[in-house]
Amino acid sequence: MKVGLKLNPGQKGTKRLAAKYGDRLLCVRYRYDEVTNRRYTTVELIESSEPWFPANRKVFVKIRYDEVPLRNKVKESGGKWNKIMRRWELPYRVAIDLGLEKRIEN
């Protein structure tokens, strides 16, 4: 099967599908099967959207002063106290590994 045409939402040939899927529609492809002489219309949709950070990107994590064991874990994992932001700074991947994703503030 070969792709004969790839269209973006709003182009001629996508209006019906754009109305059906709305902002979730990324593209429409028309594929042609030369063996069966059939044309297939396929769509690419956005299923979900969530924030994404590269694993080594530095993030700031809020840890209360009285959470000493957690602070020590962050320090042992390479976290640094940022005086200006008044937050702990560490790589995103480390924050996730320590279960701190809900405490990330950026």
* pLDDT higher than threshold 80 for residue 106: no
User: Model confidence over 41-84: pLDDT tens digits?
Assistant: 999 999 998 877 788 899 999 999 999 999 999 999 999 999 99
Give the integer Cα–Cα distance in Å for 83 and 89: 10
Look up the pTM and report it. 0.54
Neighbours of 96 (CB within 10 A): 14
